[in-house]
Structure 1
Amino acid sequence: MRAEGYLFAGVAAFFGVTGAMYGWLAAEPAGTVALTVSFLMSGLVALFCWTQHTKRGDRLQDRTDIPIADGAGPLDFFAPHSLFPVLCALGAALFGLGVVFGLWLVLIGFGVLIPAAVGFVFQYGQRRP
């Protein structure tokens, strides 16, 4: 994950410098906000990749001194079936439609999205690796 961390750190640096220059020269708030949000999102991905690298070390794909056969077998645990992704998508769609059509739909979307996201995150919280 080290290479991915450096890649997204470079993307974050690009958006940070571009956003600062754009905000200073253009004085237009929408583009400045979009570049700032892009900087924050790519910085978050870079931070995630870097913490995963420091926590787990080099992956098999990152090392050149091992044979390909050492990477065979199951990679990780993947959920076999779950309704939580569908509920998250439904809540996000209702939330987005609520921005267009009214506060009542935003509240319904928020009411569907939050429990679905919590369930999605914690559905296998008790599972041991």
Structure 2
Amino acid sequence: MKAEAWIFGITTVFVAVVAPGYWFLSGDWTGTSALVMTALLTAMITLYLGFHASRMDPRPEDRKEGEIADGAGELGFFPPYSWWPLWCALALGFMVYGVAMSAWWLVIIGFTAGAVTTCGFVFEYYRGEHAH
């Protein structure tokens, strides 16, 4: 994770240098505050990655003598296809459309459908074809 910490650290320094220059040239408070928040958020990620990089064993890509074969093996669990995100997005779309059109009955339908689809999304791996 040292490489990632360096990338975010360089980004933090760059944005921290650009933010005052942007304010002096434009006088725009909105853009300046966005750049300052970006610098603070990238600094937070840099500290997190640097902290964890110092406490864990180096990965093959963190070692100079690391080989490609050193990184072979299982990388983790990647879920198969799922239809639940589509239905969750559709329920959210109903809710947003209902709020925009002041059709509160549509918001209630969307909220109910959202509760059902969120439960389906959360408990997807507890039953059916992909149960663990």
- Gap runs ≥5 in structure 2: 123-132
Q: Give the share of equivalent positions with the same residue, in percent.
A: 29
Decide which structure has the larger Cα Rg and report it.
Answer: 2
Instruction: Map 1:73-112 to 2 at 5 A.
Output: 73-79=73-79, 90=89, 101=100
Letter in 1 for 2:63: R
Could you tell me which residue of structure 1 aligns to residue 62 of structure 2?
62
Residue 17 of structure 1 deviates from its aligned partner by 1.6
Letter in 1 for 2:4: E
Q: Aligned residue pairs: how many?
A: 108
For 2:44 and 2:87, the matched residues in 1 are separated by: 25
Name the TM-score, length of structure 2 as normaliser.
0.54
Letter in 2 for 1:38: T
For 1:80 and 1:55, the matched residues in 2 are separated by: 32
Q: Secondary structure at the match of 2:27?
A: coil
- Gap runs ≥5 in structure 1: 121-129
Could you tell me which residue of structure 1 aligns to residue 129 of structure 2?
none
Residues 49, 83 of structure 1: alpha-carbon distance in 2 compared, 3 angstrom cutoff: farther
Residue 55 of structure 1 deviates from its aligned partner by 2.8
Alpha-carbon RMSD across the aligned residues, in angstroms, is 3.9
